[in-house]
Every structure is written in C-alpha cells, then in structure tokens.
Chains A and B, each alone.
Chain A
Amino acid sequence: DQQVKQNSPSLSVQEGRISILNCDYTNSMFDYFLWYKKYPAEGPTFLISISSIKDKNEDGRFTVFLNKSAKHLSLHIVPSQPGDSAVYFCAASGYGGSQGNLIFGKGTKLSVKP
C-alpha cells in the first residue's frame, strides 16, 4: 500500500502562472519531506525539503507547505517557467527510525506552456 501519494499524474499551466503540486501521506511518523525534479533520462534532482516541525519552507520561486493534521504537502512554483517542465516526485523520510531511505510518490508530470 502506498504511503506517499501523488494523485495527479499530470498538470499543465501557463508560463508565468502558479504551479501547485500536491502530495498526501499516510504515515504520521514521517519527519522529513523532500521534493525532487526529474528530466527524462536523468536521475532525480533535489529541489526543496521541509522538516515536520515546520509548515512552510521557501527557496526562490519554490515554496513547500506542510499540513500535518491533513497529512498533506504541496509545492508551489511561482512564476512557472517552461524550464520547470519535468516530473516532480514527493518523498518522505524518517519512518521507523530508518532515516536514510526515501519513500517516493509516483510523480506528477508538469508541463509549463509558453
């Protein structure tokens, strides 16, 4: 059973607008969340992370919001650029003391149209 879920396989937005990617998780023991971006034929690239003791982390155009009570996090990209077009993976860490391994969602393919 999936512990990290990205329910939208794809998302299309216009350049300059906001992209919002969503992620839900089931295990309340997760204590760290990360977003990765992946281009075709490349490995995932780290984008931004958030600790479970925070509810927001911002890095330039990227902001991650965490709602622990809803077990939900989202990644906001503002403004969106065509170069942001990629697959975005949500990942969680910290379950059961195994801090190292990441548990990934299936990914959301973002297309930013000029």
Chain B
Amino acid sequence: EAGVTQFPSHSVIEKGQTVTLRCDPISGHDNLYWYRRVMGKEIKFLLHFVKESKQDESGMPNNRFLAERTGGTYSTLKVQPAELEDSGVYFCASSQSPLAGTVYEQYFGPGTRLTVT
C-alpha cells in the first residue's frame, strides 16, 4: 500500500512569490490533515479535511494560506504571497474515519521543506 506522498520535497522561493504544495493521501482515507513545523518548534496543526470539506481550519495562520481538496482526493496548500516566516516543513497526514470513541492514527508524508528568502 502506497503511503502519503508530498510534492515537491523542497521549494525555495522569494518573498512575495506563490508556492503550491501537493499532498496525495493513502487511498481510501477520508481524513487529510496539514501540519507545519517551523525550525526548533513543535509540529503545529493547520487544517483538517473530511473528504472534500474543511472540518477544522483553526490552525491556518492567515488568509495568505489556501487549502483545497478537490473531489476528496489529493489536496493542495497554496501560500500567496509568501513571507519569510512561512519557512518550515509542511507535513500532510491522512487517516481513516474513526469509530465513535476511537482515534485512528495519522500517517504522515515525508514533508515539503519550504524556504522563503
């Protein structure tokens, strides 16, 4: 079974440019999450999709970030315009839909390292 994949693995852009990150979850996983780790800090939640709907986007830093999940399959995270503080590693994760009273573990992709100069 293929794992969560992310593209690109590394992106270097200048401040003010636009970058789009892509995540392909494990097939059949309805839940898709985006997280970000800024250097030296903890991994922080950005948002959660259930199929194509945004379940929780409370972690999105501001309106420069736009996430979509067309048709409930892959997801994209666009940063426009990018700022220096957006640099970090962006992780995508997916999971099955949990039964009541349980939490299924999330499977993480390898991440996209974004560097804004």
What B residues does A41 contact at CB under 8 A? 110
User: CA separation between A44 and B111, bound complex, in Å?
Assistant: 9
The tally of residues in A whose CB lies under 8 Å from a CB in B reads: 26
Looking at the assembled complex, report how far the CB atom of A33 sits from the nearest CB atom of chain B, in whole angstroms.
9
User: CA separation between A70 and B92, bound complex, in Å?
Assistant: 32
- Interface flag for B21 (CB, 8 Å): no
The residue that A103 contacts in the complex, of B4, B33, B45, B102, with Cβ under 8 A, is B45
Within 8 A of B (CB), among A60-114: 89, 93-94, 98-107
Most buried by A among B31, B91, B108: B108
Given contacts A34-B105, A43-B109, A98-B56, contact A104 B98 (CB under 8 A): no
The tally of residues in B whose CB lies under 8 Å from a CB in A reads: 28
User: CA separation between A72 and B106, bound complex, in Å?
Assistant: 22
Contact status B56-A107, CB under 8 Å? no
Contact status B56-A43, CB under 8 Å? no
- Interface flag for A10 (CB, 8 Å): no
User: CA separation between A51 and B110, bound complex, in Å?
Assistant: 27
User: CA separation between A36 and B106, bound complex, in Å?
Assistant: 10
Contact status A100-B55, CB under 8 Å? yes
- Interface flag for A27 (CB, 8 Å): no
The residue that A45 contacts in the complex, of B33, B42, B98, B108, with Cβ under 8 A, is B108
What B residues does A107 contact at CB under 8 A? 42
User: CA separation between A14 and B50, bound complex, in Å?
Assistant: 44
User: CA separation between A16 and B70, bound complex, in Å?
Assistant: 49
User: CA separation between A32 and B41, bound complex, in Å?
Assistant: 22
Inter-chain pairs besides A36-B108, A103-B45, A104-B44, 6 sampled, C-beta below 8 Å: A42-B111, A46-B106, A101-B48, A101-B58, A102-B106, A106-B41
